[in-house]
Structure 1
Amino acid sequence: MKLVDIELVEPGHTLGKSIFSANGTVLLSIGVQLTVFMISTLKRLGVTTVYIDDPLYRDITPEEVLSEETKRAVIHQMSETFEALRSGKTFSAKAISQTVDQMLDDVLTNQSVLIHLDDIRTADNAMFLHAMNVCMISSMIGLNMGLNMIQLKELAIGALLHDIGKLNAPEVQEGRMHHSWRGFDLLKHKWEYSLLIAHVAFQHHEAVDGTGEPRGIGSDEIHLYAKIVAVANYYDNLLFHQETPGRSLLPHEACERLNAMSETKLDHEVLVHFMRIVSIYPNGVSVRLSNRLIGIVVGQHRGLPGRPVVRIIDKDGDSSAAKEIDLAQHPTLFIESVLN
């Protein structure tokens, strides 16, 4: 499987990873042969990259923290939750709790897998995938920081619902300040939830140097859950051009941007743990090495996100008999650029 730019996809290419609709059903299934109409539709929906099933790279499979079943369940539940709120109804705290339990089961089972956000985002599913990704990343950071299961559950629920205040907000009042206050107000009245969950929505746009929103509080006043969600939220937004309008950053670029915010916008300790669980150069990505060789990333090292295993491609584009270079064993070699 290979990650390619949507502009390079041609009719007859086989989809290597399913694409979800806004209600959690599968929009396009893995294995489908793409047509001109399908490709045009994906472009119209805002899709920029897709995984293609290429015989030369069939053994290259990005590891997943969440199963496809869990992803469908999360997207479906978030769709139902948001629809209830849009209709002026309350949402089911029990259903959210059960969905979070399913997510945490996957996180605990796959805690050694490095995070790679590779689900195809469209205008319809973007809000739900963002919530799911922020929840997954936050849970893995919390797990690495030694939070117990009660704390992980609180963190995960808060992360999943961190943007709930954006719903039904009048256009003239849209903005971080409004949705943070509104999210806090919605969640603090859910008797099933700890008040700490509401504070995730309230504080996830605060900054450790006191320049954040909505209250401009300093590091000591920001709860750990909110500091964790702030990192996860910022990372997902950078990858999907919410913080960089018109341009999505690549994972290594986003990580550089986050590290530059250490001890100003973001908490340093949380960033240290985040960098241990993220895949900077995901499997399936084409890269050029400092020795000018071109290859495909095929393996990862936990704790060494910038030193993956790269399979070198020959000049004819064939990698079937090519050697693999483990950058962890070659300290003088480094990835010069990402080619996708």
Structure 2
Amino acid sequence: MIIENISHSRIDKIDFNDISFGNHYSDHMFYCKFENGKWKNPIIKPFGDITVSPLSLVFHYGQAIFEGMKAYKDKYGNVFLFRPLENFNRLNSSAKRLEMPLISKSLFRDGLKKLLSIDKKWIPNNYGQSLYIRPFLIASDGKLSANPSKKYIFMIICTTASNYYLTPLKVKIEQKYSRSADGGIGFTKAAGNYASSFYPTRIAQEEGYDQILWTDSSTHSFIEESGTMNVFFYIKNNLITAPANKKILNGITRKSIITIAKKEGIKVKECNFSVSELIYNLRKNLVKEIFGCGTAVVVNHFKKIGYKFKNYYLPNISNKKRISFFLKKNLLDIQHNVINDPFGWRFKV
């Protein structure tokens, strides 16, 4: 692996007590090309622009996938990744579905470890903060043919991260647009999945909401996800979430929350949960909490649900009494090496 070090770090421009998601990128990035059926010439070089042909098939046929993961520091300055093998496996699952080359475990692991060792100082020390890591793969072949590319670029970039959302969310149940469909690519982290969500989300925001509760594309009767998050409902002491299938992203944070909840004796139901069931329970004041989860956001609770021009409000309770707060703290404690990791999720870099 070739290493090109930056001449002068930009880290002195960062106030780690006041960081926001996606505004400051670390000094270096990992870059590797796929040509003639092989990954070749991996390099870590200063963060900056790259040159690709306007004919690159990523622009024309949308072969683009990514992952989201984080690096954390404990109070001793040790660096940890959280369940990185899950990200590796999901990246390759996305690649397979979009007919892109698989990435070897050694390329993914070695590139990530070396990048983090070089930019270790960019990982915040504060509890709840992290270095968000974005591996991504794009088609770079310069031939306008509606076929899979034969050339690709795999990169890893990093940005300092605090909380993605800072306030409770107002969410609208979507009844027209869909994020995914049967037989589609909803289970992948394909770039187009997110682009297609922007327009209906903007409409919801113009109506006074922050995000959308996505429903099934066939009947809009069953709740699937919220924005870019998996979503949980806490009703009658049951934690309910949609089953991970070929339409729903099998979120790593989602799986971790389910595992922690079960260990703590909380009953979890992975089942199809209908809009009508949710509205009934909201009207009866039986819904204790609704929250979304994901790598970037970690956990964020909702305060209002909109459906057919009517709003339903969630109980205004203190964080310490929220099951979402309890689960989030358990997750963060494991990630920051505050408590023992009974699941083997932490990976020391």
The TM-score, its normalising length taken from structure 1, stands at 0.30
The TM-score, its normalising length taken from structure 2, stands at 0.30
| Structure with greater helix percent | 1
Structure number with greater CO (CA < 8 Å, separation at least 6) is 2
| Structure with greater strand percent | 2
